[in-house]
Amino acid sequence: MSEKMMGNDTTVNQDRVLEAFRQEAEALTHAMSELSPADWQLPTRCTPWSVLDLLGHVCVVIDWLPGMLDAPAPDEPQISAAEYYRPDDRFSPRTNDRRIALAQDRASGSADGAAFARDFAAAWQRGDQLCRVQQADRTVRTRHGDAMLLSEFLLTRVVEVAVHGLDLADALGRKPWLTPAAGDAVTELLLGTDHATAVDELGWSRTRFLRKATGREPLNEAEAVQVERLGVRWLALG
């Protein structure tokens, strides 16, 4: 399958990123299927969301896929996955309030946590199936109006599932279930194609690097210098 080069030295292969999405979503599904009723109500670092609400947000960001694929494809892609996370109105207080409400509304639609875990599985599996029949050069328009290659948009969905998977694991007091495929995909987005060597220089696991690079763990002064030297792309995250 052909590859497209977007900005910021990031090459995204649609088959590879879709496989990363599938593996990470499967891991999250498995983790959520094991929760007790009390687990679903635990608070997360993504205030004011509970575990249930945060999974609602992950559902919402995947729910956009079918409608995007049903809509006419834009003529040309305009932005990359890294550029999708630029700090504009999409991360304003007004948009964040809407994001919070959408997640809570999505989470409230199931009878209980176990039913919602099954709902999440159905949502990502539907998106996965629809994406697997698309051409490598398929373009989509996001709800923010951005024209992107589907492969680049899918990479942003890997970010959402992987990073919020870390948030959920922390809220539950569990070992992170980050998959190698998703860890590599998000690390490459943040550092470029030489990501493996770059992270090895730090001596960090993928999990620790992603926590640091997305604000889940603070960087001390020495670590900040190290990460900046690697040329990390800081993403605006709501």
pLDDT for 230 equals: 86
Which residues are paired to 6 by β-bridges? 10
pLDDT for 238 equals: 66
In angstroms, how far is the first alpha carbon of the chain from the final one?
Answer: 33
Pick from 198, 191, 208, 235: nearest CA to 9: 191
pLDDT for 2 equals: 32
pLDDT for 118 equals: 96
Going by DSSP bridges, is the β-strand pair 4-6/147-149 parallel, antiparallel, or unpaired?
unpaired
Contacts (Cβ under 8 Å, ≥6 apart) of 18: 128, 131, 132, 151, 154
Going by DSSP bridges, is the β-strand pair 139-141/10-12 parallel, antiparallel, or unpaired?
unpaired
Written as tens digits, the pLDDT of the chain (238 aa) is 333 333 344 447 899 999 999 999 999 999 999 999 999 999 999 999 999 999 999 999 999 999 999 999 999 999 999 999 998 888 788 888 999 999 999 999 888 999 999 999 999 999 999 999 999 999 999 998 999 999 999 999 999 999 999 999 999 999 999 999 999 999 999 998 877 777 888 888 999 999 999 999 999 999 999 888 888 888 988 6
pLDDT for 29 equals: 98
The DSSP-derived string for 23-77 is: HHHHHHHHHHTT--TTGGG-B-SSTT-BHHHHHHHHHHHHHHHHHHHHSPPPSS-
Is the separation of the CB atoms in 189 and 154 below 8 Å? no
pLDDT for 209 equals: 93
Going by DSSP bridges, is the β-strand pair 4-6/10-12 parallel, antiparallel, or unpaired?
antiparallel
